[in-house]
C-alpha cells in the first residue's frame, strides 16, 4: 500500500514538472489598449521666434505630464501629445496640421498667430478645432473653428491706448500722437487693424505705421523718420528679438527715454529684457494676459515645481505661464467632451469627433478659472476669444512689474469693416 502511494506521488510530481512549462506557454489574455485622448501641439522651437517657442513648448509638455501623472489624465484617459516644431515656417505649419488630422488628433494648438494664420484655412475647411495661444483678429473674425486662448493683438492695442489716455496723457489738450512699429505678419496687423478701427473713437492720432521683419537687425532708418514726427507714443507689436532692436535703436537716437513705449504681449516677457538689457527697457510698458510669477493663485505652486524641476532656465518667463495654461484649457475642453458625449464618440479622432469636441467641449466652457493663472475662460457665441481679460505691466528695475487690474477687452466685429483682411 505504501509502495503504491509513493508511486502515485512520484507520477503526480513528474506530470507537474512536465506540464508546468506548457502552462507557462499558455496564451495570456490581451491587455485592453489604453484609451488615450490625442492632441496636436506645435511651437516655433527653432527659427526666428525660437526665444518664445522653446519656452512655450516646454510648458505645454510639462503641463501635460502633470495632468497625466498627477491628475490621472482626463476622466481617467491619458492625453497623448503629438508635438512638432513649426520653426515659424508657414509651409511647415500646413504639413503639420495635415499630420495632426491624419493621425487622429482631436484638436490642435499653436503658440503664435503666424502659425495659426497658416493653419486656419485647412483647419476651418475640415472643421478641425484649434487654439492659438497668442492670436490676431484675422484668425477668428468671422468665427469658425479657430479660437484664441488670450486677448488678441487688437485687444492689446486698445487696452494700452485706453490705459495711456487715462493714466499718462491725463487730459492734455489735443490728441496724443501714436507711431506704430509692427511685425509684418498677423502679430503686427492685429494692432494695426485695431487702431484703424478705433483711433478716431478713442481720440488719438496715428502719425506713422512702419513694419519690420522678425529678423531685423536695425531700425535706425525707420525710427529716424518716426522721430521727426514727434510722437507721444511708440507702440510695438512684435516678438522679443525685433522689439529689442527697435527699443535699443530708439535709445541710441535719444527718442527713449522721452517717448512712451508700449508693447503688445507677444514681446513683453523676460526674453525682451534679456536681449535688450535691463537699462535699455527700463520704464517700458506692455500688455500681458497672465499673472506674474510668484503671485498667490491656486496654480502657481504646481507650475513652479514642474518648471524648476524640468526647465529651470524658463523660470520667470511669462511665456511659460501662457502655454502651461493652454494645456490646462485643452484638458478642460476634453473633460467636458468626455463628460457630455462619452469616450467612444471621440475615439476615432475623425471629423465627427472634432465636431463633438467643439460643440460639447469648447462651446461648454463657462468661467473655467485656469487655476488663477490667467483670466477666466468662457465661450460666448459669436466670439471665439476664450479669454477677454488683459493686464498692463511696466518694466521696473529689470523686472516686469506694476500690474494693473484685469481689463476686459470689448468685442470688435472687424469683419464689418470693408478693409478688414485685405
Strand 146-148 and strand 37-43: the pairing is unpaired
Helix locations, 72-185, DSSP H: 90-102, 113-126, 153-164
User: What is the DSSP annotation of 245-261?
Assistant: HHHHHHHHTT-TTTSEE
| Dist. CA 300–CA 315, nearest whole Å | 12
End-to-end alpha-carbon separation of the chain, Å?
Answer: 105
Spell out the domains of the chain, with CATH numbers in brackets. 37-151+293-387 (3.40.50.2300), 154-288+410-416 (3.40.50.2300)
- Report the pLDDT value the prediction gives residue 421, as an integer from 0 to 100: 86
Cβ–Cβ < 8 Å for 77, 338: yes
Cβ–Cβ < 8 Å for 206, 180: yes
Largest distance between two CA atoms of the chain: 122
| Dist. CA 41–CA 81, nearest whole Å | 7
- Report the pLDDT value the prediction gives residue 349, as an integer from 0 to 100: 96
Beta bridge partners of 159: none
Three cell numbers written together for 155: 485687444
Three cell numbers written together for 59: 510648458
Three cell numbers written together for 375: 483670466
- Report the pLDDT value the prediction gives residue 422, as an integer from 0 to 100: 82
Sole residue written with cell 523676460 = 270
Tell me what percent of the chain is helix, strand and coil, each rounded to the nearest 5.
50, 15, 35
| Dist. CA 65–CA 80, nearest whole Å | 10
The residue count for the chain:
422
Q: Which long-range contacts (CB under 8 A, 24 or more apart) does 398-404 make?
A: 398/273, 398/278, 398/282, 399/273, 400/268, 400/269, 400/270, 400/273, 400/286, 400/288, 400/292, 400/318, 401/292, 403/291, 403/292, 404/163
Tally the C-alpha atoms within 13 A of residue 70's C-alpha that lie toward its C-beta: 11
| Dist. CA 307–CA 318, nearest whole Å | 12
Burial of 355 (0-12, 13-18, 19+ CB in 10 A): middle
Handedness of CA 143, 145, 150, 153 (dihedral sign): negative
Handedness of CA 110, 115, 117, 123 (dihedral sign): negative
| Dist. CA 417–CA 413, nearest whole Å | 8
- Report the pLDDT value the prediction gives residue 33, as an integer from 0 to 100: 58
Burial of 266 (0-12, 13-18, 19+ CB in 10 A): buried
Element containing residue 183 per DSSP (H, E): strand 177-183
| Dist. CA 391–CA 404, nearest whole Å | 6
What radius of gyration do the chain's Cα atoms show? 27
What are the pLDDT tens digits along the chain (422 aa)? 444 434 443 334 343 333 344 344 444 544 445 799 999 999 999 999 999 999 999 999 999 999 999 999 999 999 999 999 999 999 999 999 999 999 999 999 999 999 999 999 999 999 999 999 999 999 999 999 999 999 999 999 999 999 999 999 987 788 999 999 999 999 999 999 999 999 999 999 999 999 999 999 999 999 999 999 999 999 999 999 999 999 999 999 999 999 999 999 999 999 999 999 999 999 999 999 999 999 999 999 999 999 999 999 999 999 999 999 999 999 999 999 999 999 999 999 999 999 999 999 999 999 999 999 999 999 999 999 999 999 999 999 999 999 999 999 999 999 999 999 88
Amino acid at each position: 500500500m505504501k509502495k503504491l502511494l509513493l508511486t502515485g506521488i512520484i507520477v503526480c510530481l513528474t506530470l507537474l514538472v512536465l506540464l508546468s512549462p506548457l502552462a507557462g506557454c499558455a496564451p495570456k489574455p490581451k491587455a485592453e489598449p489604453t484609451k488615450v485622448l490625442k492632441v496636436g501641439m506645435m511651437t516655433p522651437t527653432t527659427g526666428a521666434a525660437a526665444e518664445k517657442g522653446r519656452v512655450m513648448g516646454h510648458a505645454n509638455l510639462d503641463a501635460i505630464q502633470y495632468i497625466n501623472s498627477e491628475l490621472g489624465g482626463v476622466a481617467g484617459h491619458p492625453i497623448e501629445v503629438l508635438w512638432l516644431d513649426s520653426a515659424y515656417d508657414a509651409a511647415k505649419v500646413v504639413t503639420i496640421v495635415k499630420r495632426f488630422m491624419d493621425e487622429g488628433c482631436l484638436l490642435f494648438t499653436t503658440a503664435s498667430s503666424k502659425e495659426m494664420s497658416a493653419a486656419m484655412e485647412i483647419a476651418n475647411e475640415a472643421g478641425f478645432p484649434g487654439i492659438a495661444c497668442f492670436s490676431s483678429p484675422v484668425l477668428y473674425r468671422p468665427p469658425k473653428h479657430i479660437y484664441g486662448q488670450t486677448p488678441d493683438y487688437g485687444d492689446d492695442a486698445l487696452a494700452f491706448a485706453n490705459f495711456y489716455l487715462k493714466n499718462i496723457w491725463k487730459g492734455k489738450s489735443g490728441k496724443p500722437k501714436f507711431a506704430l512699429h509692427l511685425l509684418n505678419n498677423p502679430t503686427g496687423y492685429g494692432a494695426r487693424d485695431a487702431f484703424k478701427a478705433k483711433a478716431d473713437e478713442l481720440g488719438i492720432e496715428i502719425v506713422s505705421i512702419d513694419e519690420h521683419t522678425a529678423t531685423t537687425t536695425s531700425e535706425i532708418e525707420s525710427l529716424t523718420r518716426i522721430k521727426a514726427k514727434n510722437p507721444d507714443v511708440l507702440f510695438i507689436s512684435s516678438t522679443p528679438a525685433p522689439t529689442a532692436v527697435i527699443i535699443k535703436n530708439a535709445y541710441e537716437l535719444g527718442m527713449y527715454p522721452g517717448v512712451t513705449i508700449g508693447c503688445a504681449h507677444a514681446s513683453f516677457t523676460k526674453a525682451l529684457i534679456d536681449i535688450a538689457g535691463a537699462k535699455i527697457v527700463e520704464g517700458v510698458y506692455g500688455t500681458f494676459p497672465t499673472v506674474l510669477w510668484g503671485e498667490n493663485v491656486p496654480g502657481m505652486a504646481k507650475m513652479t515645481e514642474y518648471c524648476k524641476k524640468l526647465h529651470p532656465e524658463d523660470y520667470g518667463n511669462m511665456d511659460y505661464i501662457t502655454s502651461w495654461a493652454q494645456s490646462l484649457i485643452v484638458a478642460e475642453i476634453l473633460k467636458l467632451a468626455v463628460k457630455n458625449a462619452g469616450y467612444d464618440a471621440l475615439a476615432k479622432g475623425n471629423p465627427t469627433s472634432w465636431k463633438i469636441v467643439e460643440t460639447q467641449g469648447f462651446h461648454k466652457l463657462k468661467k473655467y478659472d485656469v487655476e488663477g493663472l490667467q483670466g477666466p475662460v468662457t465661450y460666448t457665441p459669436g466670439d471665439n476669444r476664450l479669454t477677454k481679460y488683459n493686464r498692463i505691466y511696466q518694466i521696473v528695475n529689470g523686472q516686469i512689474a506694476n500690474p494693473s487690474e484685469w481689463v476686459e477687452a470689448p468685442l470688435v466685429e472687424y469683419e464689418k469693416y470693408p478693409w478688414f483682411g485685405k
